[in-house]
Amino acid sequence: QVQLVESGGGLVQAGGSLKLSCAASGRTFSIYDMAWFRQAPGKEREFVADIRWRDGSTSYAGSVKGRFTISRDNAKSTTYLQMNSLKPEDTAVYYCKTRVPGTYHYWGQGTQVTVSS
């Protein structure tokens, strides 16, 4: 069992930056990867970025590639999402998710990111 807590959301102007954090606790030794998803009002939740826990390999949604960077700190069982060149379209609740062996998924409660024009 893994628990996730996101932090770092807030209000920023277009073109600005924010860094989100997601701290995991519990059976962190079983983590396969950690990912960020987001959900804007009235829209479905969408994938943003993913990082493999063992080797640090990453993947990104095309809409954020080149602007967002996902990273990890294994000692702190924490993943980060550095968001640069933010656009109003990035406004959403951002959720952290992790996977463990057995196809188990665990979600954080989300953190609000609002980008003003």
Q: What is the pLDDT of residue 26?
A: 92
Q: What is the pLDDT of residue 71?
A: 98
The position carrying tokens 């196809």 is: 103
Q: What is the pLDDT of residue 82?
A: 98
- The C-alpha atoms of residue 91 and residue 25 are separated, in whole angstroms, by 27
Give yes or no for a contact between 6 and 95, defined as CB atoms under 8 angstroms apart: yes
The tens digit of pLDDT for each residue in 38-72 reads: 999 999 999 999 999 999 999 999 999 999 999 99
The tens digit of pLDDT for each residue in 4-42 reads: 999 999 999 999 999 999 999 998 888 999 999 999 999
- The residues, any chain, with a CB within 8 Å of residue 16's CB and separated by 6 or more, are 86, 115
Give yes or no for a contact between 19 and 81, defined as CB atoms under 8 angstroms apart: yes
Q: What is the pLDDT of residue 67?
A: 98
